[in-house]
Amino acid sequence: MMRTIPNNEDNNNNNEEVGNDYEGSLKKGPWTPDEDAILIDYVNTYGEGNWNSVPKNSGLSRCGKSCRLRWANHLRPNLKKGAFSPEEERIIVDLHAKLGNKWARMASQLPGRTDNEIKNFWNTRIKRRERAGLPIYPPEVIRDATLYHLREEQYFEKPYNSSLSSSSFPPLLSSYPKKLNASNHYHALVSPKKLNASNHYHALVNPKKNQPISLYGSSSNLFNYHGFVVSNNSAQPVSNDYQYYNNGFNASSIMPPLAPSSVSSSQTPPDSVTPASSNVSAVDGFIGASSKVNSEQYEVAPFSPQGNSGLLGALVVEGQSILRNNKIKSEDSTVAAAAEKSSNKRKSIVIMENAERGTTVESALLKKKNSGKSSNETPMSSSGKKQIGKEASLEEMDVSWDDDLCSLLNNFPTEMPTPEWYSTGGDNKAEPLGRESQPSAPPPAPTVDQELGWNVGTSWNNMPSIC
């Protein structure tokens, strides 16, 4: 049993950080086995905590801080030693996308690993990727993290606090339009992973306050929307232009990749109405979205990464990178240009509009459209669709969002989908997003993962070294 920790701190001259008896004799540098043994014995006897008393009662010439660190990082039981497994590496990357440089929190998710280990790992191998110009986060992680932040920000009501470390809490949703509800409008968070998991598009729909429904199980709702989902293989436009009714949104509704001729800046004057099914409205690397209101197309650009964090910047850059590597750029310079333009201000959300309309939001949209022809008009997409900036969304769509979120999240899968790469069984790994969800798509080019060195199961050590 543990004994009571002797506490002699009430004696004078015990503060090692100011001139005292300890300071001159406090040792620094690597720990010796003898010191380790003393510390282990001490902790086994008295337990953890009260670290400043350790040097005083154990005879160690180390400050309490140093003792705590030594114990936590090297001596405490159940510490895992050795290199990170591929599984652990993936978890770290995933957690970093979600948490930023919260090493301690990440360590709490990795039993036996310390924050210092994770930090070192990140600062060496992962940063090496960054320096090499390779993406830090695989596409799946980007999607997961985006969704995670959506949920974190809104469900838990943790607005971005600019005073936080820029690397610790991405302002992903700081400008997200939180006031986007009207009784006849459906807003949905869409989990693209479900495209992968089951060929069904899980949309969470809240048609009316306190009356949440899901696309699943609903047979009487008509939605019009366009979306854009970046998968491993390609950027996949999604749409339900076929006036999809009923239980979800299966693979057949995923349109083939953009044909180069489908959108072109030369063929689409800014104000012309583009047929809804003709193209993808938002090419932002994640999930772009547009809504269709009275046959007019509007892009929704909810996100503006001001006060960008490292993560966020990386996400944006990676989104662009993904797009480029999926040859969107080469296939359609206009769309690519839109992507460049929009990628710095959008993240993933798909907003669905009920086809039955005549609502506040719609009015706001139309108002925006009709009045926004001035020089400060929001940028046009490649298809001439109008982008509704965050200001419009926030200011004009003045309906409570919080309730909707609760409803949405009630319908949301209770657990975050497990990333495919967490599946350690080599034979039954889930296919990356986009493969099984595009049965009629042309044979895929080398996947983004492959091209960018994101092969599942490979070690970071395989990456090229930096010159």
Partner DNA sequence: AAATGGCCCAACCGCAAGTAC
Partner DNA sequence: CGTACTTGCGGTTGGGCCATT
Applying CB under 7 A, among 119, 209, 327, 429 the residue interacting with DNA is 119
CB of 17 vs DNA, minimal distance in Å: 8
Q: Which is nearer to DNA, 70 or 347 (CB)?
A: 70
Q: Which is nearer to DNA, 124 or 295 (CB)?
A: 124
Terminal Cα distance for the chain, rounded: 55
Q: Which is nearer to DNA, 121 or 223 (CB)?
A: 121
CB of 81 vs DNA, minimal distance in Å: 7
Applying CB under 7 A, among 25, 45, 124, 424 the residue interacting with DNA is 124
Tokens of 152: 């974190």
Q: Is 50 in the site for DNA (CB under 7 A)?
A: yes
Q: Which is nearer to DNA, 33 or 443 (CB)?
A: 33
Alpha carbon distance 70, 273 (integer Å): 66
Helix axes 139-155, 86-99, angle to 10 degrees: 40
Tally the C-alpha atoms within 13 A of residue 397's C-alpha that lie toward its C-beta.
29
CB of 343 vs DNA, minimal distance in Å: 25
CB of 415 vs DNA, minimal distance in Å: 24
Alpha carbon distance 299, 385 (integer Å): 6
Q: Which is nearer to DNA, 68 or 347 (CB)?
A: 68
Q: Please state, in angstroms and as integers, the Cα–Cα distance from residue 31 to each residue in 35, 114, 179, 288, following that order.
A: 6, 18, 57, 53
CB of 460 vs DNA, minimal distance in Å: 8
Q: Which is nearer to DNA, 266 or 462 (CB)?
A: 462
* Size of residue set near DNA by CB under 7 A: 43
CB of 95 vs DNA, minimal distance in Å: 11
CB of 381 vs DNA, minimal distance in Å: 36
Which residues ranging from 437 to 466 are in contact with DNA (CB under 7 A)? 461, 465-466
Alpha carbon distance 227, 350 (integer Å): 7
Which residues ranging from 332 to 391 are in contact with DNA (CB under 7 A)? none
Applying CB under 7 A, among 22, 42, 46, 51 the residue interacting with DNA is 51
Q: Is 429 in the site for DNA (CB under 7 A)?
A: no
Q: Which is nearer to DNA, 129 or 368 (CB)?
A: 129
Tokens of 167: 């690397």
Q: Which is nearer to DNA, 48 or 398 (CB)?
A: 48
State CA 295 to chain mean position distance: 32
Applying CB under 7 A, among 121, 228, 249, 303 the residue interacting with DNA is 121
Applying CB under 7 A, among 2, 6, 9, 306 the residue interacting with DNA is 9
Q: Is 28 in the site for DNA (CB under 7 A)?
A: yes
Tokens of 77: 């039981």
Tokens of 388: 């509704």
Applying CB under 7 A, among 25, 44, 47, 65 the residue interacting with DNA is 65
Q: Could you tell me which stretch among 67-75, 269-277, 330-338, 403-411 binds DNA (CB under 7 A)? A: 67-75
CB of 384 vs DNA, minimal distance in Å: 43
Phi and psi at residue 336, in whole multiples of 5°? -60, -40
Q: Please state, in angstroms and as integers, the Cα–Cα distance from residue 197 to each residue in 48, 121, 147, following that order.
A: 45, 31, 16
Q: Which is nearer to DNA, 65 or 373 (CB)?
A: 65
CB of 139 vs DNA, minimal distance in Å: 24
Which residues ranging from 152 to 211 are in contact with DNA (CB under 7 A)? 165, 167-168
Which residues ranging from 68 to 107 are in contact with DNA (CB under 7 A)? 68-70, 73-74, 83, 101-105
Residues forming the site for DNA (CB under 7 A): 9, 15, 27-31, 49-53, 62, 64-66, 68-70, 73-74, 83, 101-105, 115-117, 119-121, 123-125, 128, 165, 167-168, 461, 465-466
